[in-house]
Homo-oligomer: A and B are copies of this chain.
Protein backbone atom coordinates (compact mmCIF):
# COMPACT_ATOMS: atom_id res chain seq x y z
CA UNK A 1 0.00 0.00 0.00
CA UNK A 2 1.14 3.52 -0.78
CA UNK A 3 -0.18 6.35 1.32
CA UNK A 4 0.57 9.19 -1.03
CA UNK A 5 1.80 8.70 -4.59
CA UNK A 6 3.03 11.64 -6.62
CA UNK A 7 3.11 11.20 -10.39
CA UNK A 8 5.22 13.72 -12.24
CA UNK A 9 4.05 13.69 -15.86
CA UNK A 10 0.48 12.40 -16.02
CA UNK A 11 0.34 11.08 -19.58
CA UNK A 12 -0.23 7.60 -20.99
CA UNK A 13 2.41 5.98 -18.77
CA UNK A 14 1.87 7.91 -15.55
CA UNK A 15 -1.89 8.04 -15.96
CA UNK A 16 -2.21 4.31 -16.63
CA UNK A 17 -0.22 3.50 -13.49
CA UNK A 18 -2.54 5.75 -11.48
CA UNK A 19 -5.62 4.04 -12.91
CA UNK A 20 -4.21 0.56 -12.31
CA UNK A 21 -3.28 1.33 -8.71
CA UNK A 22 -6.66 2.92 -8.05
CA UNK A 23 -8.40 -0.16 -9.38
CA UNK A 24 -6.24 -2.29 -7.09
CA UNK A 25 -6.98 -0.01 -4.12
CA UNK A 26 -3.24 0.35 -3.67
CA UNK A 27 -3.01 4.11 -3.04
CA UNK A 28 -4.74 6.31 -0.54
CA UNK A 29 -4.03 9.46 -2.48
CA UNK A 30 -2.56 10.34 -5.86
CA UNK A 31 -1.27 13.78 -6.66
CA UNK A 32 -0.21 14.79 -10.16
CA UNK A 33 2.54 17.23 -11.00
CA UNK A 34 3.79 18.79 -14.20
CA UNK A 35 4.13 22.07 -16.02
CA UNK A 36 0.76 22.26 -17.70
CA UNK A 37 -2.15 23.03 -15.36
CA UNK A 38 -4.70 22.57 -18.12
CA UNK A 39 -3.52 19.05 -18.88
CA UNK A 40 -3.41 18.20 -15.17
CA UNK A 41 -6.95 19.50 -14.77
CA UNK A 42 -8.05 17.06 -17.48
CA UNK A 43 -6.31 14.24 -15.59
CA UNK A 44 -8.17 15.22 -12.44
CA UNK A 45 -11.48 15.55 -14.28
CA UNK A 46 -10.95 12.06 -15.70
CA UNK A 47 -10.49 10.76 -12.16
CA UNK A 48 -6.91 9.71 -12.81
CA UNK A 49 -5.47 11.87 -10.01
CA UNK A 50 -7.05 13.33 -6.89
CA UNK A 51 -5.33 16.69 -7.11
CA UNK A 52 -2.41 18.38 -8.81
CA UNK A 53 0.22 21.00 -8.36
CA UNK A 54 2.35 22.63 -11.04
CA UNK A 55 4.94 23.34 -8.35
CA UNK A 56 6.83 20.03 -8.29
CA UNK A 57 8.61 20.80 -5.03
CA UNK A 58 5.27 21.26 -3.28
CA UNK A 59 3.73 18.24 -4.99
CA UNK A 60 6.40 15.80 -3.75
CA UNK A 61 6.77 17.28 -0.28
CA UNK A 62 4.71 14.70 1.58
CA UNK A 63 4.69 11.90 -1.00
CA UNK A 64 5.82 8.40 0.01
CA UNK A 65 6.42 7.31 -3.58
CA UNK A 66 7.28 9.53 -6.53
CA UNK A 67 6.91 8.21 -10.08
CA UNK A 68 8.67 10.36 -12.67
CA UNK A 69 7.09 9.74 -16.06
CA UNK A 70 8.39 12.63 -18.15
CA UNK A 71 10.32 12.44 -21.44
CA UNK A 72 13.94 11.35 -20.91
CA UNK A 73 15.26 14.83 -21.66
CA UNK A 74 13.31 16.31 -18.74
CA UNK A 75 14.43 13.80 -16.08
CA UNK A 76 17.46 15.73 -14.87
CA UNK A 77 15.48 18.95 -14.40
CA UNK A 78 12.77 17.10 -12.48
CA UNK A 79 15.30 15.40 -10.19
CA UNK A 80 16.97 18.75 -9.55
CA UNK A 81 13.65 20.42 -8.77
CA UNK A 82 12.44 17.81 -6.29
CA UNK A 83 15.62 16.62 -4.54
CA UNK A 84 15.60 19.12 -1.67
CA UNK A 85 11.88 18.70 -1.06
CA UNK A 86 11.48 14.94 -0.76
CA UNK A 87 10.62 13.34 2.56
CA UNK A 88 13.67 11.46 3.93
CA UNK A 89 11.82 8.16 3.49
CA UNK A 90 10.43 8.90 0.04
CA UNK A 91 11.10 6.43 -2.73
CA UNK A 92 11.66 7.76 -6.24
CA UNK A 93 11.26 5.71 -9.40
CA UNK A 94 10.88 6.52 -13.07
CA UNK A 95 9.50 5.09 -16.30
CA UNK A 96 12.27 6.10 -18.70
CA UNK A 97 13.10 3.91 -21.70
CA UNK A 98 16.91 4.16 -21.34
CA UNK A 99 18.32 3.39 -17.91
CA UNK A 100 22.03 4.26 -18.02
CA UNK A 101 21.26 7.90 -18.71
CA UNK A 102 18.56 8.14 -16.03
CA UNK A 103 20.98 6.70 -13.49
CA UNK A 104 23.60 9.28 -14.46
CA UNK A 105 21.01 12.02 -14.06
CA UNK A 106 19.90 10.65 -10.70
CA UNK A 107 23.49 10.39 -9.44
CA UNK A 108 24.03 14.00 -10.33
CA UNK A 109 20.75 15.56 -9.27
CA UNK A 110 19.05 13.26 -6.75
CA UNK A 111 21.74 13.78 -4.19
CA UNK A 112 19.76 13.45 -0.98
CA UNK A 113 17.85 10.31 -1.77
CA UNK A 114 19.87 8.50 -4.43
CA UNK A 115 19.84 5.32 -2.32
CA UNK A 116 16.06 5.35 -2.54
CA UNK A 117 15.98 5.80 -6.28
CA UNK A 118 14.90 2.72 -8.27
CA UNK A 119 15.27 3.02 -12.05
CA UNK A 120 12.43 1.20 -13.80
CA UNK A 121 10.99 0.74 -17.26
CA UNK A 122 7.51 -0.60 -17.90
CA UNK A 123 7.65 -2.35 -21.28
CA UNK A 124 4.25 -1.24 -22.40
CA UNK A 125 2.75 1.62 -24.30
CA UNK A 126 0.86 2.44 -27.42
CA UNK A 127 1.50 4.92 -30.21
CA UNK A 128 -0.96 7.19 -28.39
CA UNK A 129 0.09 9.70 -25.79
CA UNK A 130 -1.58 11.92 -23.22
CA UNK A 131 -3.74 11.11 -20.23
CA UNK A 132 -6.82 10.60 -22.42
CA UNK A 133 -5.09 7.47 -23.77
CA UNK A 134 -4.38 6.07 -20.29
CA UNK A 135 -6.13 2.89 -19.19
CA UNK A 136 -5.92 0.67 -16.11
CA UNK A 137 -5.02 -2.49 -18.05
CA UNK A 138 -1.95 -1.12 -19.83
CA UNK A 139 0.45 -2.99 -17.54
CA UNK A 140 -1.57 -6.16 -17.05
CA UNK A 141 0.79 -9.13 -17.59
CA UNK A 142 3.41 -6.83 -19.12
CA UNK A 143 7.01 -6.75 -17.97
CA UNK A 144 8.61 -4.00 -15.94
CA UNK A 145 12.39 -4.03 -15.81
CA UNK A 146 14.12 -2.47 -12.83
CA UNK A 147 17.84 -1.76 -12.82
CA UNK A 148 18.54 -0.96 -9.16
CA UNK A 149 21.89 -0.15 -7.62
CA UNK A 150 23.17 -2.21 -4.68
CA UNK A 151 22.15 0.56 -2.28
CA UNK A 152 18.54 0.58 -3.32
CA UNK A 153 17.57 -2.99 -2.46
CA UNK A 154 15.01 -2.01 0.13
CA UNK A 155 13.47 0.68 -2.00
CA UNK A 156 13.29 -1.84 -4.84
CA UNK A 157 10.92 -4.04 -2.87
CA UNK A 158 8.40 -1.20 -2.66
CA UNK A 159 8.67 -0.41 -6.37
CA UNK A 160 8.29 -4.09 -7.28
CA UNK A 161 5.19 -4.35 -5.09
CA UNK A 162 3.70 -1.26 -6.72
CA UNK A 163 4.15 -2.59 -10.25
CA UNK A 164 2.82 -5.98 -9.23
CA UNK A 165 -0.28 -4.27 -7.85
CA UNK A 166 -0.66 -2.71 -11.31
CA UNK A 167 -0.67 -6.19 -12.81
CA UNK A 168 2.90 -6.27 -14.13
CA UNK A 169 5.65 -8.84 -13.83
CA UNK A 170 8.87 -7.27 -12.55
CA UNK A 171 12.38 -8.37 -13.45
CA UNK A 172 15.75 -6.96 -12.56
CA UNK A 173 18.82 -6.61 -14.76
CA UNK A 174 21.89 -4.37 -15.19
CA UNK A 175 21.10 -1.01 -16.77
CA UNK A 176 23.50 -1.49 -19.68
CA UNK A 177 21.91 -4.79 -20.60
CA UNK A 178 18.47 -3.21 -20.50
CA UNK A 179 19.61 -0.44 -22.81
CA UNK A 180 21.11 -2.84 -25.32
CA UNK A 181 18.00 -5.00 -25.44
CA UNK A 182 15.60 -2.10 -25.73
CA UNK A 183 17.73 -0.49 -28.42
CA UNK A 184 17.07 -3.58 -30.53
CA UNK A 185 13.44 -4.33 -29.75
CA UNK A 186 12.03 -0.86 -29.38
CA UNK A 187 14.26 2.09 -30.16
CA UNK A 188 15.61 0.77 -33.46
CA UNK A 189 12.15 -0.29 -34.76
CA UNK A 190 10.86 3.20 -34.06
CA UNK A 191 13.71 4.73 -36.05
CA UNK A 192 13.07 2.29 -38.88
CA UNK A 193 9.37 3.10 -39.00
CA UNK A 194 9.93 6.87 -38.89
CA UNK A 195 12.51 6.39 -41.65
CA UNK A 196 10.18 4.41 -43.89
CA UNK A 197 7.34 6.89 -43.61
CA UNK A 198 9.64 9.80 -44.46
CA UNK A 199 11.30 7.83 -47.25
CA UNK A 200 7.96 7.27 -48.96
CA UNK A 201 6.46 10.65 -48.19
CA UNK A 202 9.37 12.62 -49.53
CA UNK A 203 9.03 10.89 -52.90
CA UNK A 204 6.96 12.12 -55.84
CA UNK A 205 4.55 9.29 -55.42
CA UNK A 206 3.63 9.96 -51.82
CA UNK A 207 -0.13 10.09 -52.35
CA UNK A 208 -0.11 6.78 -54.21
CA UNK A 209 2.09 5.11 -51.67
CA UNK A 210 -0.47 5.63 -48.97
CA UNK A 211 -3.45 5.05 -51.23
CA UNK A 212 -2.29 1.55 -52.07
CA UNK A 213 -0.84 0.51 -48.74
CA UNK A 214 -2.22 -2.59 -47.07
CA UNK A 215 -2.34 -4.08 -43.60
CA UNK A 216 1.34 -5.02 -43.48
CA UNK A 217 2.33 -1.42 -44.05
CA UNK A 218 -0.21 -0.17 -41.53
CA UNK A 219 1.15 -2.41 -38.79
CA UNK A 220 4.75 -1.78 -39.76
CA UNK A 221 4.43 1.98 -39.57
CA UNK A 222 2.01 2.30 -36.65
CA UNK A 223 4.83 3.22 -34.27
CA UNK A 224 5.73 6.16 -36.52
CA UNK A 225 2.71 7.86 -34.93
CA UNK A 226 4.47 7.84 -31.56
CA UNK A 227 5.29 11.07 -29.75
CA UNK A 228 8.28 12.78 -31.48
CA UNK A 229 9.57 14.56 -28.35
CA UNK A 230 9.57 11.36 -26.34
CA UNK A 231 11.40 9.50 -29.09
CA UNK A 232 13.93 12.25 -29.72
CA UNK A 233 14.80 12.06 -26.03
CA UNK A 234 14.97 8.28 -25.95
CA UNK A 235 17.24 8.17 -29.01
CA UNK A 236 19.60 10.75 -27.53
CA UNK A 237 19.55 9.08 -24.10
CA UNK A 238 20.35 5.66 -25.54
CA UNK A 239 22.56 6.93 -28.33
CA UNK A 240 25.45 4.50 -27.94
CA UNK A 241 23.45 1.27 -27.83
CA UNK A 242 21.13 2.55 -30.55
CA UNK A 243 23.98 3.43 -32.91
CA UNK A 244 25.47 -0.04 -32.40
CA UNK A 245 22.12 -1.58 -33.11
CA UNK A 246 21.56 0.60 -36.17
CA UNK A 247 24.97 -0.28 -37.60
CA UNK A 248 24.27 -3.97 -37.19
CA UNK A 249 20.96 -3.48 -38.93
CA UNK A 250 22.59 -1.61 -41.79
CA UNK A 251 24.90 -4.59 -42.30
CA UNK A 252 21.83 -6.83 -42.49
CA UNK A 253 20.38 -4.62 -45.20
CA UNK A 254 23.67 -4.77 -47.08
CA UNK A 255 23.50 -8.56 -46.96
CA UNK A 256 19.98 -8.57 -48.33
CA UNK A 257 20.90 -6.04 -51.01
CA UNK A 258 23.87 -8.13 -52.03
CA UNK A 259 21.77 -11.30 -52.34
CA UNK A 260 19.15 -9.42 -54.34
CA UNK A 261 21.75 -7.86 -56.62
CA UNK A 262 23.20 -11.29 -57.34
CA UNK A 263 19.69 -12.74 -57.64
CA UNK A 264 20.81 -15.39 -55.19
CA UNK A 265 17.48 -17.17 -54.72
CA UNK A 266 18.81 -19.71 -52.22
CA UNK A 267 20.38 -17.12 -49.99
CA UNK A 268 17.20 -15.02 -50.00
CA UNK A 269 15.03 -18.04 -49.23
CA UNK A 270 17.32 -19.14 -46.42
CA UNK A 271 17.36 -15.64 -45.02
CA UNK A 272 13.58 -15.29 -45.05
CA UNK A 273 13.07 -18.80 -43.66
CA UNK A 274 15.37 -18.16 -40.76
CA UNK A 275 13.54 -14.91 -39.93
CA UNK A 276 10.14 -16.55 -40.19
CA UNK A 277 11.24 -19.39 -37.91
CA UNK A 278 12.50 -16.96 -35.30
CA UNK A 279 9.40 -14.78 -35.50
CA UNK A 280 7.01 -17.73 -35.34
CA UNK A 281 8.84 -19.15 -32.30
CA UNK A 282 8.16 -15.89 -30.59
CA UNK A 283 4.55 -16.68 -29.86
CA UNK A 284 2.69 -13.39 -29.55
A: residues with CB less than 8 A from B are 73, 123-127, 142-143, 145, 177, 180-182, 184-186, 188-201, 203, 205-206, 208-229, 231-232, 235-236, 239, 242-243, 245-250, 252-253, 256-257, 260-261, 263, 265, 268-269, 271-276, 278-282, 284
A interface majority secondary structure = helix
- Provided the pairs A224-B279, A225-B280 are in contact, do residues A212 and B145 lie with their beta carbons within 8 angstroms? yes
Q: Report yes or no: A223 in contact with B219, Cβ–Cβ below 8 A.
A: yes
Instruction: Kindly provide the distance from the CB of A192 to the nearest chain B CB, expressed in whole angstroms.
Output: 6
30 cross-chain CB contacts under 8 A:
A123-B212, A126-B215, A142-B214, A145-B212, A181-B208, A185-B209, A186-B214, A186-B216, A188-B196, A192-B220, A193-B220, A193-B275, A194-B271, A195-B275, A196-B252, A197-B275, A199-B248, A201-B274, A201-B275, A210-B278, A218-B284, A219-B222, A220-B223, A228-B275, A228-B276, A232-B265, A236-B260, A236-B263, A243-B261, A246-B257
B-side contacts of A235, CB under 8 Å: 260, 268
Contact check, A236 vs B268: say whether CB atoms are below 8 A apart.
yes
User: Do the beta carbons of B199 and A249 come within 8 Å of each other?
Assistant: yes
CA distance A163 to B61 in the complex (A): 66
User: B269–A216 contact, CB under 8 A?
Assistant: no
Task: Decide if B252 touches A253 in the complex (CB within 8 Å).
Answer: no
User: If the complex has contacts A127-B216, A189-B216, A252-B199, are A268 and B232 also in contact, measured as CB distance less than 8 A?
Assistant: yes
On whether the beta carbons of B189 and A276 are closer than 8 Å, the reply is: no
Flag if A194 contacts B275 (CB, 8 Å).
yes
Q: Give the residue name and chain of the B residue nearest to A191 (CB).
A: B256
Q: When the two chains form their complex, are residues B280 and A260 in contact, meaning their CB atoms are under 8 A apart?
A: no
Q: Please name the 7 residue pairs, one residue from A and one from B, whose CB atoms are nearest each other, closest first.
A: A228-B272, A194-B275, A201-B278, A197-B275, A195-B252, A219-B219, A185-B213
A250 in complex: contacting residue of B219, B231, B253, CB < 8 Å = B253
Q: Is the CB of B185 within 8 A of A228?
A: no
